[in-house]
Amino acid sequence: MKKMIKSTVALIMGAMLTMSFQCGKSEDPEPLNTNYNAHHSECLSHTDNGTKGVYSPDSVSVSYDVASQRLHVTHHNLMVNCGTAEIDGGITVSATRIGQTIDIYEYEDESNPQADCMCDVDNEFDLHSIEHGTYTLVFHSCYPDPQSFTFTF
């Protein structure tokens, strides 16, 4: 009888342990391909690397098309090297989604020519198959910390 109770307790503990790992398991990020339609403006303002510059604060605007579930994103005042700003398509954009959080990665191509200045550009791209709701867009770029903006559309 004691052996059966110990076996039952061990079975229940094992099941609870398995369930706790599954409940804590995070979702795999869903990749969202964006780079094919990304484009950026010319330099809005620039600062030479040798001087301490003041850059315009980043902001984001979005527009949403319900019928196509397309979210058009404009990242205003993204700081890039002036050499990258001169190249159409010089910024690589990719995104992943977990639930209501969309991580957006904006990086300069390392093969771009580099200039001795930085500038702000407006970077635009579309995200597809986004359902109506509230989302947090987390922007990862050359800045040390990601920047987050939350929208409902």
What is the domain partition of the chain in residue ranges?
29-152
- For residue 48, the model assigns a pLDDT of 63
What pLDDT, on the 0 to 100 scale, is given for residue 19? 40
Give residue 9's pLDDT. 42
pLDDT at 65 (0 to 100): 95
pLDDT of residue 29: 83
Q: What is the pLDDT of residue 57?
A: 84
Cβ contact 102:129 at 8 Å:
no
Query: 1-36: per-residue pLDDT in tens?
Result: 555 444 444 444 444 444 433 334 457 888 886 666
CA–CA dist 79, 57 (Å, integer): 10
Tokens of 98: 């977990």
Q: What is the mean pLDDT of each run of 10 residues along the chain (153 residues)?
A: 47 43 57 77 74 70 95 93 84 94 91 85 94 96 88 94
Structure confidence at residue 96 (pLDDT): 95
* pTM listed for this prediction: 0.75
